């Protein structure tokens, strides 16, 4: 296989230490040096949904100003830990649940970059499944406000215009792709120029192919009884490539950015996109009159076996060295309040993690809601992997698969190698 692109990220993850501040609790250092008490700095990947939350927070707190930046996940993950180590990180930042990437809870909490939020009133209310990935060594570091899923999201108008129906089995899916391509409108937009996007189709397939017959696969993987390369992950990987060969995606996915893929799906230049439910709000920004419907991505010919990836989405952590700690905690408390959570979830198109938020769920998410309520979901696969390198190996490896520089089996073997290194 060719040069691993995650080498730069891995390099940035080494040799960083931090003075211990993570275990002192949120009340230990209020009023840090440099605080003005009125300006909050925030870095978020929630493009399109964070803006209204910020406006509402500022309106509820006269005189307070939030200086925020948004960026794509790849750029953000490459920068945030360096910023934390150098003392230039914002007060509040996006943090992913679990341990799957360089901006995840375990990765940032372990060296002490995040403030312990265990004493915040919302922390004890998190359902157990969310606590597991929002905590590190029993302490809560991540305010996870939304539940997200991954599936096929269709542009309803474009689908109706094509005369095709959304596929309900794997066989139908391949025929759907061929028919859509024949009509000149590819089935699904795929923007894997941003390498985090590469995982989504694979996760959507693996949910059914891997975890359908074995819901305990992750436990077996952790105990050494299973491997990626020796399991049904090979089938999921093969089906991803089979979709590519069937013409499921537009030309040149590697040259298509996440942003460009949104435009393709929103404007009907593809019939849909395989993404997280958060994409619906972004598609509506580009096509305000459009309606979009999410379904499970067929991975077998038995719909009764379908599972969807669904788990806590990215939340917010507080910098252990936040210059405006009290204001940072106030912001996170607002995000986790019924008002903040309702605003965030409805804008982002996610489901609330706490009861009583009063969120109105987008009608396009009816099937996802049904799967969640029916316990037909599996966590995002990377959240329970032992280190961020496993995911990075997968992301860069998938880009190499699409550029014919690697095989699916080679990528899975590399993932095994990184997994077996442990934490």
pTM over 0.85: no
d(CA 305, CA 277): 21
DSSP per residue, 80-127: HHHHHHHT---SEEEEBSTTSSTTBHHHHHTTT-B---TTSTTGGGS-
Q: Using the Cα atoms of residue 274, residue 278, residue 283 and residue 289 in order, give the sign of their dihedral.
A: positive
- Within 10 angstroms of residue 160's Cβ, the number of other Cβ atoms is 12
Domain residue spans of the chain: 41-144+313-336, 149-310+378-421
d(CA 363, CA 365): 5
- Full pLDDT tens readout for the chain, 423 residues: 433 332 322 222 222 222 222 233 333 333 344 567 799 999 999 888 899 999 999 999 999 999 999 988 888 998 999 999 999 999 999 999 988 889 999 999 999 999 999 999 999 998 887 888 899 999 999 999 999 999 999 999 999 999 999 999 999 999 999 999 999 999 999 999 999 999 999 999 999 999 999 999 999 999 999 999 999 999 999 999 999 999 999 999 999 999 999 999 999 999 999 999 989 988 999 999 999 999 999 999 999 999 999 988 899 999 999 999 999 999 999 999 999 999 999 988 888 888 888 888 889 999 998 998 888 999 889 888 999 899 999 999 999 999 999 999 999 999 999 999 988
In this structure, what token pair is assigned to residue 322?
């936040």
Number of alpha helices (DSSP H) and beta strands (DSSP E) in the chain: 17, 13
Domains 41-144+313-336 and 149-310+378-421 share a fold: yes
DSSP category for residue 331 = H
Residue 125 CA neighbour count, 13 Å, CB half:
16
In this structure, what token pair is assigned to residue 304?
């009764």
Its CATH class, for the domain covering 149-310+378-421, is alpha beta
DSSP category for residue 262 = H
Its CATH class, for the domain covering 41-144+313-336, is alpha beta
């Amino acid at each position: 296989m060719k040069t691993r692109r995650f080498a730069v990220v891995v390099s940035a993850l080494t040799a960083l230490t931090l003075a211990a501040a993570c275990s002192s609790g949120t009340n230990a250092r209020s009023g840090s040096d440099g605080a003005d008490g009125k300006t909050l700095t925030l870095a978020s990947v929630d493009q399109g949904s964070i803006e209204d939350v910020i406006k509402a927070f500022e309106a509820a707190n006269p005189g307070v100003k939030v200086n925020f930046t948004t960026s794509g996940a790849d750029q953000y993950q490459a920068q945030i830990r360096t910023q934390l180590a150098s003392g230039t990180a914002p007060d509040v930042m996006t943090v992913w649940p679990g341990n799957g990437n360089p901006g995840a809870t375990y990765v940032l909490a372990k060296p002490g970059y995040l403030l312990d939020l265990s004493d915040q009133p919302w922390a004890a209310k998190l359902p157990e499944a969310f606590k597991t990935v929002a905590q590190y060594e029993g302490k809560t570091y991540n305010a996870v406000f939304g539940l997200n899923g991954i599936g096929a999201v269709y542009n309803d108008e474009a689908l109706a215009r094509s005369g095709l129906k959304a596929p309900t089995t794997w066989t139908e899916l391949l025929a759907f792709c061929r028919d859509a391509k024949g009509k000149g409108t590819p089935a699904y937009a795929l923007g894997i120029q941003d390498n985090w996007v590469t995982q989504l189709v694979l996760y959507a397939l693996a949910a059914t192919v891997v975890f359908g017959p074995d819901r305990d696969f992750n436990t077996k993987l952790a105990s050494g009884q299973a491997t990626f390369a020796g399991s049904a992950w090979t089938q999921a990987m093969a089906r991803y490539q089979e979709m590519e060969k069937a013409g499921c995606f537009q030309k040149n996915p590697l040259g298509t950015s996440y942003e460009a893929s949104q435009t393709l799906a929103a404007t009907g230049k593809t019939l849909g996109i395989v993404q997280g439910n958060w994409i619906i709000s972004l598609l509506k920004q580009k096509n305000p009159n459009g309606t979009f419907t999410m379904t499970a991505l067929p991975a077998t010919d038995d719909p009764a076996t379908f599972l969807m990836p669904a788990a806590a989405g990215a939340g917010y952590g507080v910098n252990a060295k936040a210059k405006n700690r009290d204001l940072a905690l106030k912001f996170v408390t607002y995000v986790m309040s019924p008002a903040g959570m309702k605003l965030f979830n409805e804008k982002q198109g996610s489901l609330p993690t706490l009861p009583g938020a009063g969120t109105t769920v987008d009608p396009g998410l009816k099937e996802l809601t049904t799967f969640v309520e029916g316990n037909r979901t599996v966590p995002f696969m990377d959240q329970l992997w032992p280190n961020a390198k496993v995911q990075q190996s997968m992301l860069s490896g998938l880009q190499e698969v699409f550029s014919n520089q690697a095989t699916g089996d080679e990528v899975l073997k590399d993932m095994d190698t990184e997994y077996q290194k442990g934490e």
